[in-house]
Structure 1
Amino acid sequence: MIAAHGLPDRLAGHALTPGRPWPLGASFDGEGVNFALFSAHAERVELCLFSPDGRRELCRIALRDRDGDIWHIHIGGLTPGTLYGFRVHGPYAPEGGHRFNPHKLLLDPYTRQLSGRLKWSDALMGYKVGSPRADLSFDTRDSAFAVPKSVVVDPSFNWGPDRAPRRAWHETVIYEAHVKGLTALHKGVEKALRGSFLGLASDSVLDHLVKLGITAIELLPVHAFLDDRFLVAKGLHNYWGYQSIGFFAPEPRYMTRGEVWEFQTMVRRFHAAGIEVILDVVYNHSGEGDELGPTLSFRGLDNRSYYRLRDGGRFYVNDTGTGNTLNLAHPMVLRMVMDSLRYWVEVMHVDGFRFDLASVLGREPHGFDPNGGFFDAIRQDPVLARVKLIAEPWDIGPGGYQLGNYPHPFSEWNDRFRDGIRRLWRGDAGVVPDLARRLLGSAELFDKAGRTACASVNFVTAHDGFTLEDLVSFTVKRNFANGEDNRDGHDDNHSSNMGVEGPSDDPAIRAARDLRKRNLLATLMLSQGVPMLLAGDEIGNSQQGNNNAYAQDNEIGWVDWARADDGLAAFVARLIALRQDHRVLRQRRFLHGLPRAVDGLPDVIWRRADGATPRPEDWHDPAFRCLCVELRRAAEGDLTDREAIFAVCNTGSAVQLTLPDTAPGWRLELDTTRPDAGREPAVPGLEVPAHSVLVFSADFDRGSE
């Protein structure tokens, strides 16, 4: 037994034993708590215990045992709910990459829960703010009063009959949403639960998603994160959450009682509704910023191990644009990321991850490597083999744009789909060949190394950029509320205001905008790949022209349910149902125009409106505005399926249509100019309306019924 020097009376007699170096973090075992912490360059590590309100530091206990680079101790009698942090001693030598400062209380990188909020203060800095030596100076103020406390958690939870929906990729429709943004103004959510995990899983939200046909909700970051100091100074908040400070802890602001079970309850309710939960995760950087940022966790634990450094170690590699880049080339940092991913799957039951700025994660010393350490670790892991993995395939580092270069089993956000489809319906000339590529799942990007058409996650809008309503209402961004003089956000949005900038009550303008939204959505749902819908787009939500609402935790960033366009929501539900009813629209295999054994017909046939096959000069004709495509199941796929779909995308004026004679009894399934029209037989001499999408179906097994 180790002497409990400095322990208060209430902890006197608690057994202090060496414990074990695994698992990392604070682990309750029924008899006490084992603490294990990685630091390769520390000289001494102290565990600090706090009062239940987090205001008083009760004691400091040295972790005297070390196995390799893991420091550990077991304290008998401690229970879940105990608040703690660490102080780590070592060299303060920024020019050599070391920034140890025991005056700064540090969060456990493996903490499962946080108590309290970060309070911005100069005391959080390891250096003296305002010193002429900048970060080379040393600050001795205690930061404990300003730092959230780590909490010992017992993550056991009664999952009951919970079962992961395990939707196949080709059955998936993703709905990208913000926990607070989706619920803050929703009158169907109990007021006390709005903005929380429990509110997100309320009956009214679930009913809406089920009615739409959504199969997976992709949540903007829910790992514990901080509000940037420059935003707080302007009265703003880090709304989106891309400043993580804890990769195992749910963000406290989304909890009503600060308990982990709230997140687990949310997942359980989504699963009961048949909806998967995917997390947007940020493992490329932390919220500690550059050399002038705060010392909250990783920097004070072992700066040289956790971060990628340059210029001898004083400065940070900044491939993320946030001031620092995590060093996944270090085995213990990679282990932390892998442990985090497994924790969210095994303990929290999530169904997948979308990796923010994923090119950072795959960057080795020689550049981006699809066979690098991170990807190797992911692909060999049996736990992660059963969940969905999505990459945002770019960053701002060298060679950062890597769309199409990720290894199986990753799918990727396809920004070429976004930009191409926006330009198409804006009326840009010469983009019909790009439409053809996007309709077929961007095979030129993804059809390699055994990847499927589901490798392409298709989207027209996402949290970063205009909403669908704003895409058809603004030609210029309106980001003044961000306090950066409208300099932030993308300038090239491929948008159009249809004749009037901003909101309009003109019936003609409204009708044109509504039609374009339907055309954009229809093209999304008709394309091979995995469709992703931005929350609120289905009801016409606007962000007042702000295309970078990262700091707008207010009515700008929240979904406005009071002005919901129920007709548009019904149309989106119809589109998703159409996609689900016809397997031809959601295939795993790529279509290459190969003849099928069942009928000898190609699996894809391109046509002009007059029924002829487009000539080479048609594809390059800027005036070619009406592209038709006849789709069947892939030649290498189902040998018995005879269903066919004929889709028409007309970005020009009205034109007469000749239906193919390769199928009997074509039925008109969809006409975006008549969103309320039901299925009807196709009539000879049908005219394709201007600026429209038409969809016809035929089933040889049902003949002309």
Structure 2
Amino acid sequence: MTLRLGWPTPLGATPSTDGANFALVAPNATKVELCIFDPTGQHEQQRLPLPARTDDVWHGRLPNAQPGLVYGYRVHGPWAPQDGHRYNPAKLLLDPYAREIVGTYDGSDIFWGHDPANPNQPDPRDNGPVALKARVASPLVPVTPSRPRIEASQRVIYELHVRGQTKQHPDVPPDLQGTYAGLAQPTVLDHLQRLGITTLSLMPVQHRADEQRLLNMGLSNYWGYSTIGWFAPEARYWSGRAGTTPASEFRAMADAIHACGMELVIDVVYNHSAETDELGPTLQMRGIDNALYYHLRRDNRALYENWTGCGNCLDFSQQRVVQLCMDSLRHWVTQLGVDGFRFDLATVLARGASGEFDPRAPFLAAARQDPVLADALWIAEPWDIGAGGYRVGEFPPGWLEWNDRFRDTQRAFWLQGNVSRGEFAQRFTASSDKFNHANRSPTASVNFVVAHDGFTLRDLVSYNERHNEANGEQGRDGSSQNHSNNCGVEGETSDPAILATRGRLQRALLASLLLSQGTPMLLAGSELGQTQQGNNNAYCQDGPLTWLDWHQDDAGLTDFVTRVLALRREAEPLRHADWWPAAPIDGAPALRWRTPEGHDLQPQDWQRLDALALAIVFEAPAPAPQWLVLVNPGPRAIDFTLPQGNWTLRLASDDPQPTPRPLAASANLPPSSLWIAIT
């Protein structure tokens, strides 16, 4: 086979009726070879130098090439780590635009670009037979535009792991458990619909390569925050059924989710790659053009900036890095049916060449103007671990952001009693101190109490300390600041009084989350009473510890979540999409904050830590109903004087099975309880 000149666009491998075009960005390379393999990917059959270079792109067209062709690249250039270059043609490299990936990274040192005995020198060993490779893929039928459109004020996000959601599900066929096809099963989606979920947020599903340290311990990066294939669905979640591919099965799952009227969001990791630090493997971008793709330290270009804590950071001050990300996002929307993205450590994506965060950064500008992505849902994890990395509330209009201030406040308020009414009120009404600017809506605040990173909801009320010994780091990993409360016993117990307290606290936290202004996010399993036995950093635990235990389903808790979300849909003031004014305005809906005695809270009342109970009144002009929220986070029951009106109790978090009932002029609110009433 011989290569013709081909075209510099589109990037990646593009099949056509008369062959396939190959295009790779590598501006500092001196030569690029296209390596053709047999279908197993184990035997290299031919090396073909790409014959043309247009600007930064090496390219060539291979006549008669068909989908299914397995290939990789060998890229030539200087081995000069001190100058940022780590070229080593002995290492076969994965196309960053690979739609389907062949092979598995096993952590062995044959993948290192550097000599194991001397990191300053290149390793001469050829890793071609075992290297990750790309397979030319046929495009899927473009996604039709008839997708669900969820109103911002109606959105309820459910964060889940594809494998963990169904690996132990009794109603999913065994060969589909833990797969994209398993998640698409009607019994799985029906559960989420009954709860009232509108938006599924999948933990990373882009192809990953596990860290060498974990592989050496017999573990894996279960969460998936170790991406090496930005266009390819993770094959570990593919059922392998005949006639399907990881991409086609993912797409069928997306179609099934849409058919249920729900949105699909995926967690994406563009802030770093699986190549880790300077001693990590050479799998892809390090060998293609290290100086282009990565933020290198200005004082020593042999080292990487590490604002992610994962060894490296992609350099989004580079136009080609922005292009890679944008092309990938469009692929997931147009080919795979995704409706939005949650960006891991999103601050990295907005850091410029000097490393400073810039809300007008090239990626943020490109993201919001792209016509294909205009309707996508954009969610930022608005922090990284670098200097100035905490940026909650600072992303541009159009973005939603994870709000950890909500998480910490709710935990401390309900479980420890050391947060003031003022802080609780600020978070309950969507953190206006962070998000009420530049015409942003309250829905920009993604509220959560628990997420994949940290304790589960049940563990939050069962453990005071992290129990992460299984992770192999002597229990030192994971946060030690959890604002949790074990209710008197560390871990599991059969004491009915403690179990009752734990149940009451879980329901109070859920009600406070799901009825707050903003966009609520529920962690998968919260409605089931899921436990990870006190492990608050289960990123490397792919087993029963992290898989949802459907056999231990807490039916009462599931029913409670369903009723709370039904109430949220009914109670428009509690999910108001506009900011409440600082003071009531005549003739308009108003929000009032009152003491249990029925008086308006005064300035001196807001910061007291010895009096936390309060009433929230959502007033509305007749004939619209008024809504009342009563909050008692303390250990003793408190009497509340109710505003004038005929109030009906609609929800009581202390009672798993309440029946709506009329309230008198006063109400005795039990400890750790939240009530909702309506006129």
TM-score band, normalised by shorter chain = over 0.9
Instruction: Count residues in correspondence.
Output: 672
| Deviation, structure 1 residue 275 | 1.1
Q: Which residue of 2 aligns with 1:147?
A: 131
Q: Aligned match of 1:171 in 141, 150, 154? A: 154
Aligned-partner Cα distance in 1 for 2:96–2:367: 20
Structure 1 distance, partners of 2:637, 2:556, is 25
Give the counterpart of 1:362 among 350, 365, 368.
350
Aligned pair 1:543/2:525, yes or no? Answer: no
Q: Name 2:544's counterpart in structure 1.
A: 555
Determine the C-alpha separation between the residues in 2 that align with 1:307 and 1:265: 35
Task: Name the SS of the counterpart of 2:666 in structure 1.
Answer: coil
Letter in 2 for 1:46: E
CA contact (8 A) 1:37 1:72 kept: yes
84-93 vs 28-37, greater mean Cα deviation: 28-37
Confirm whether residue 470 of structure 1 aligns to residue 459 of structure 2.
Answer: yes
Secondary structure at the aligned position of 1:502 is classed as coil
Distance 1:158 1:455, change over 3 A: closer
Match of 1:689 in 2: 670
Distance 2:378 2:622 in 1: 32
What's the counterpart of residue 311 of structure 2? 323
Deviation, 1:640, is 8.7
Structure 1 stretch displaced more, 288-297 or 28-37: 28-37
Q: Cα deviations across residues 496-544 of structure 1 (Å, max 9, x unaligned)?
A: 1001100011110100000000000000011100000000011000001
Corresponding position of 2:280:
293
- What is the identity, as a one-letter code, of the residue corresponding to 1:540? G
Partner amino acid, structure 1, of 2:630: V
Give yes or no for the alignment of 1:30 onto 2:12: no
What amino acid maps onto 1:618 in structure 2?
Answer: D
Letter in 1 for 2:169: H
Residue 138 of structure 1: aligned partner: 122
Instruction: Return the offset for 1:62.
Output: 1.0
What code does the residue aligned with 1:30 have?
T
Aligned 8 A contact 2:584 2:592 in 1: no
Distance across 1 between alignment mates of 2:393 and 2:618: 24
Aligned counterparts of 1:90 and 1:610: Cα–Cα separation in 2: 76
Q: Tell me the amino acid that sits aligned with residue 667 of structure 2.
A: L
Indicate the percent of aligned positions where both proteins have the same amino acid: 46
Instruction: Supply the distance in 1 between the matched residues of 2:131 and 2:503 (Cα, whole angstroms).
Output: 48
CA deviation after TM superposition for structure 1 residue 678, in Å:
2.4
CA RMSD of aligned residues (A): 1.5
Map 1:100-499 → 2, pairs under 5 A = 100-131=87-118, 134=119, 136-157=120-141, 163-257=146-240, 258-310=245-297, 311-364=299-352, 365=354, 367-499=356-488
* Equivalent-residue separation in structure 1 for 2:418 and 2:275 (angstroms): 46
C-alpha separation in 2, matches of 1:259 and 1:220: 16
Q: Does 1:517 align with 2:506?
A: yes
Contact (CA 8 Å) 2:421, 2:608: kept in 1 or not?
A: no
Match of 1:13 in 2: none
Hey, what does 2:617 align to over in structure 1? 630
Shift, 1:187, TM fit: 1.0
Partner of 1:669: 650
Letter in structure 1 aligned against 2:208: F
Is the Cα contact below 8 Å between 1:162 and 1:271 reproduced in 2?
Answer: no
1:647-658 to 2 correspondences below 5 Å: 647-652=629-634, 653-658=636-641
In the alignment, is the contact (CA less than 8 A) between 1:519 and 1:672 conserved in 2?
yes
State the distance in 1 between where 2:368 and 2:584 align.
Answer: 35
The one-letter code matched in structure 1 to 2:194 is K
Gap runs ≥5 in structure 2: none
Q: Give the secondary-structure state (helix, strand or coil) at the position aligned to 1:163.
A: coil
The one-character-per-residue Cα deviations of 1:457-504 (angstroms, maximum 9, x if unpaired) are 000000000000000000000000000000000001000100110001
Q: Which amino acid in structure 1 is aligned with residue 414 of structure 2?
A: W
- Whole-Å separation in 1 of the counterparts to 2:668 and 2:32: 77
* CA distance in structure 2 between the partners assigned to 1:641 and 1:126 by the alignment: 72
- CA distance in 2 between counterparts of 1:632 and 1:27 reads 60
Corresponding position: 1:581 with 2:567 = no
3-state SS, counterpart of residue 630 of structure 2? strand
One-letter code aligned to 1:152: V
C-alpha separation in 2, matches of 1:691 and 1:119: 49
Classify the secondary structure of the residue corresponding to 2:122. Answer: coil
Q: Distance in 2 between matches of 1:592 and 1:147?
A: 59
Pick which of 41-50 and 361-370 moved more: 361-370
Give the SS at the match of 2:563: helix
Preserved contact between residue 420 and residue 608 of structure 2 (Cα < 8 Å):
no
CA separation in 2, counterparts of 1:105 and 1:166?
43
The answer (yes or no) to whether the contact 1:403–1:445 under 8 Å persists in 2 is yes
The offset of 1:121, in angstroms, is 2.0
- What is the letter of the counterpart of residue 126 of structure 2? D
3-state SS of 1:145 partner: coil
The offset of 1:162, in angstroms, is 7.1
1:69 is aligned, of 56, 81, 103, to 56
Residue pair 1:420, 1:431 contacting (<8 A) in 2 also: no
Per-residue CA deviations over 1:362-411 (Å, capped at 9, x if unaligned) read 11226111111111111221222201111111111110001111111111
Instruction: Please give the alpha-carbon distance, in whole angstroms, between the structure 1 residues aligned to 2:388 and 2:653.
Output: 40
- Write the distance in 2 (CA, Å) between the matches of 1:685 and 1:630: 15
| Offset at residue 345 of structure 1 (A) | 1.0
2:186 and 2:498 map into 1 onto residues whose CA distance is: 36
Cα distance in 1, alignment partners of residues 159 and 542 from structure 2: 17
Question: What is the CA-CA distance between 1:593 and the residue it aligns to?
Answer: 3.8
- SS of 2:503's partner is helix
Amino acid across the alignment from 2:633? T
Matched residues in 2 for 1:627 and 1:89: separation? 68
In 2, Cα distance between equivalents of 1:342 and 1:632? 44
Distance 1:620 1:416 in 2: 17
Residue deviations 1:214-255 (CA, integer Å, cap 9, x gap)? 001111111110111110111111100111001111111011
Name the CA distance, whole Å, in 1 between partners of 2:339 and 2:96.
23
Q: How far 1:686 moved relative to its partner? A: 2.3
Which amino acid is the alignment partner of residue 378 of structure 1?
Answer: A
Please tell me whether the aligned partners of residues 469 and 541 of structure 1 are also in contact (alpha carbons under 8 angstroms).
yes
Shift of 1:596: 4.3
> How far 1:620 moved relative to its partner?
2.8
CA contact (8 A) 2:106 2:215 kept: no
1:557-580 Cα offsets, whole Å, 9 max, x none, are: 111111110110010011111101
Q: 1: distance between equivalents of 2:484 and 2:639?
A: 29
Q: What is the distance in 1 between the residues matched to 2:102 and 2:347? A: 33
Deviations 1:292-315 (A, max 9, x none): 111100001000000011134211
Task: State how far apart, in whole Å, the 1-side matches of 2:346 and 2:525 are.
Answer: 26
* Letter of the 1:631 counterpart: F
Give TM-score, length-normalised by structure 1. Answer: 0.93
Judged with a 3 Å threshold, the aligned counterparts in structure 2 of structure 1 residues 254 and 349 are, in CA distance, closer, same or farther, namely: same
Deviates more, 1:295-304 or 1:145-154: 145-154
Residues 33, 49 of structure 2: 8 Å contact kept: yes
Letter in 2 for 1:200: L
Residue matched to 1:702: none
Correspondent of 1:98 among 61, 80, 85 = 85
Deviation of the 1:55 alpha carbon: 1.2
Structure 1: unaligned runs, 5 residues or longer: 6-15, 634-638, 699-705
Q: Secondary structure at the match of 1:123?
A: helix
